């Protein structure tokens, strides 16, 4: 999957488990997403950023934002 950075919209920040849940729900509904783990990336880079509850972020294509938010809301209800 290839999406240019300017096409990506941040839709979630939080825990790893919630990000995985969101990623799975979006995938089941044919919406592609990218999950970024800033904490893990800092470890790989050789320095550790203080762990934070918002270290995992989920991005979707600009064209999918509305549908993604609706799908996530339904899945959480």
Percent of the residues in the chain that have a pLDDT greater than 70, as a whole number: 70
The pLDDT-based confidence of 8 (bands split at 50, 70, 90) is very high
pLDDT of the residue at 20? 95
pLDDT of the residue at 42? 57
The pLDDT-based confidence of 16 (bands split at 50, 70, 90) is confident
Give dist(CA 37, CA 24) in Å, integer.
16
| DSSP helix/strand/coil, 53 | coil
| Start-to-end Cα distance in the chain | 29
69 or 47: which carries more pLDDT confidence? 69
**Helix 65-76 × helix 16-28 angle, to 10°:** 110
Cβ atoms of 69 and 10 within 8 Å: the answer is no
The pLDDT-based confidence of 55 (bands split at 50, 70, 90) is confident
């Amino acid at each position: 999957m290839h999406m240019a950075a300017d096409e990506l919209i941040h839709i979630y920040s939080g825990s790893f488990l919630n990000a995985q849940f969101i990623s799975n729900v979006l995938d089941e509904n044919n919406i592609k997403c990218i999950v970024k783990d800033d904490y893990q990336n800092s470890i790989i880079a050789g320095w550790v950023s203080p762990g934070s509850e918002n270290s995992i972020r989920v991005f979707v294509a600009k064209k999918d934002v509305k549908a993604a938010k609706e799908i996530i809301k339904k899945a959480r209800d």
